[in-house]
Structure 1
């Protein structure tokens, strides 16, 4: 409940559904919050000895355990994935109540992360069968500035070194995703660290999943720090799309949300580079600088993005707010600025350590 309250108070979500002891669920409590088309479900074990949730919490801490996809034919996708060798955690099953029925299945992907497939033809309920209206209300939420995050733009998964391509191939083989975008460590590097990234997407390109891995650098990269503290691969960040990032970030900061920052020299350099660009940024650059919103662009368009601090104690999961103007990239032009900000936080945590050629981290 505390985490759901944090996302409502700090991020502008609203509570929409609940499942727990009061609804007849004896094992797990679930709080569902919503903003635009974004649904987050926060779950906790109700009883001692819940091995699945207990082991996940010990190994990974708080994080994104499951990424759900809406599908049209759950049975077909599961059967095809099974034939191709995917691990099916839960075979298709139906939940039903007076509002209709929903079919679900669960497939294992990288690490302990799963995908729930949700077929919800004409279901009229709040969220899923078995969920009721939330029991907790906060009268202050209506008085706070609205954020207007619209939908999930992409979800990034971090992998240990040399595991990115096998994960990409898993998505291509089992879910028939395709490569949408990629960069290597020659493009994505700072003085200290580097990464490689491949984005996979579904056929309609409505679902995009960047898959990252660290590359060898002078010091431990933020990707490797994530893998170390997460106990293996997992979801690094969730990007939420908005049509008005300036209002969104102003209001998020007014609500007390904390974001990574970049130095003013970033905007000085940006202004100089934009003098030679075909693209014109319609937003006021002084305002973007004030709010520390990053800009990436090519000849066709641009995007605006900003990243939160980690949203739990471990330096693992964080969030992104993004606005696109005819630009389908993922901020490659901002990598250096972003990683320098991340490296400053790493250094404060004592984790910007020197890497030896065999990958072992040594403190300075």
Structure 2
């Protein structure tokens, strides 16, 4: 495992403030949004579709604290870019959008450095003000949209109308997920380094953390990972690739079923992972489980370590929450089973206590849990 301290020169052409939202291309936006509302505790906040004058797409926006997702479906098969994406990838994250400052400078640099501009700077307005956007291509068919909200104070974006709270969702226990911690992109073997270099060159992101297959492996499979992030280090994008092993890794399984590079999982940060997981389970969300032997080994290791876990270890074990730590602090994390039929996208819930890693100490246990699921699917 490697942590990087050299962030390079502070970018002068623009600033990435945060994840703005993620846009999912799905077969049925209404139903997909409802799933995230009932299972994960989101609330509907906005809608755009036929009733608002939008003729091509239905878009449902759900939010939980600082996390915003858009679920988008096409009305007609003639929308070939959309329909081809859906057939190739299934329900998937299409757009990782960032809130930015100095949009012009970011787009100018990206263009000068060779980025593929999908849609150059444009504006959208309503009575709440004006938002400026631009969209560029990143790995696979995934894109990044830059969102400049400097002169906008509306609920979400122009063109959307407010929709009421979900009655059922309000009756279920609150989950209290706070913000997007990181978004992971899987690549085919041999493409991780070039993608990391793209973020360095195009967006002036820097390497924050990395591991290789000598550190992350089980008896059967392995991966390599580089975490890219902005100067302020609040936008983190791990880039994974499979490494050769005795059997097919979960990264290769993803690439095979997704049809190339794409978003593998979204990590959502919480201040209280025990309550969050209890309430997510009460809502019917399913998680990967590790064997009790994981906790027996962990307890032995922690006996001689200066780091003290504040949470009750018995409860963490009951909920199958993973623990990783170093001399400064620790993190708690857990991973859902796949969010749709294709074994592609899943969700991570993470709580940090003075620990900025990504659970390297848990990767073996996680891989073994995933391999059990892969074996059930006949894909190990």
Q: Please give the TM-score of this superposition, normalised by the length of structure 2.
A: 0.92
Secondary structure of 1:330 counterpart:
coil
Query: Which of residues 207, 211, 215 in structure 2 aligns to 1:187?
Result: 215
Partner residue, 1:316: 344
Post-superposition offset of 1:202? 0.4
Alignment of 1:180-219 (within 5 A): 180-219=208-247
How far apart, CA to CA, are the structure 2 residues paired with 1:19 and 1:13? 18
Query: Which of residues 105, 114, 130 in structure 1 aligns to 2:159?
Result: 130
Partner residue, 1:9: 38
Counterpart check, 1:116 vs 2:139: no
Query: Which of residues 276, 298, 302 in structure 2 aligns to 1:274?
Result: 302
Contact persistence 2:44–2:166 (CA under 8 A): no
Counterpart check, 1:342 vs 2:370: yes
Secondary structure of 1:94 counterpart:
strand
How far apart, CA to CA, are the structure 1 residues paired with 2:186 and 2:196? 12
Contact persistence 1:157–1:237 (CA under 8 A): yes
How far apart, CA to CA, are the structure 2 residues paired with 1:304 and 1:345? 22
Deviations 1:124-164, CA, capped at 9 Å, x for gaps: 211100000126x5322221100000000000000000100
Counterpart check, 1:159 vs 2:187: yes
Post-superposition offset of 1:209? 0.4
Post-superposition offset of 1:48? 2.4
Q: Which runs of 5 or more structure 2 residues have no equivalent in the other structure? A: 1-29
Secondary structure of 1:313 counterpart:
coil
Post-superposition offset of 1:179? 0.4
Contact persistence 1:31–1:134 (CA under 8 A): no
Query: Which of residues 307, 326, 333 in structure 1 aligns to 2:335?
Result: 307
Partner residue, 2:84: 55
Contact persistence 1:94–1:104 (CA under 8 A): yes
Secondary structure of 2:199 counterpart:
helix
Deviations 1:269-311, CA, capped at 9 Å, x for gaps: 1111100111000000000001000000001100000000110
Counterpart check, 1:45 vs 2:74: yes
How far apart, CA to CA, are the structure 2 residues paired with 1:253 and 1:122? 40
How far apart, CA to CA, are the structure 1 residues paired with 2:170 and 2:258? 35
Secondary structure of 1:198 counterpart:
strand
How far apart, CA to CA, are the structure 2 residues paired with 1:340 and 1:37? 32
How far apart, CA to CA, are the structure 2 residues paired with 1:244 and 1:48? 43
Partner residue, 1:143: 171
Counterpart check, 1:102 vs 2:131: yes
Q: Please give the TM-score of this superposition, normalised by the length of structure 1.
A: 0.96
Secondary structure of 1:3 counterpart:
helix
How far apart, CA to CA, are the structure 1 residues paired with 2:78 and 2:340? 23
Secondary structure of 2:78 counterpart:
coil
How far apart, CA to CA, are the structure 1 residues paired with 2:151 and 2:337? 38
How far apart, CA to CA, are the structure 1 residues paired with 2:304 and 2:240? 31
Query: Which of residues 40, 51, 56 in structure 2 aligns to 1:22?
Result: 51
Deviations 1:6-54, CA, capped at 9 Å, x for gaps: 0000000000000000110000110000001000000000122110110
How far apart, CA to CA, are the structure 1 residues paired with 2:372 and 2:94? 28
Count of aligned pairs: 351
Contact persistence 1:159–1:227 (CA under 8 A): yes
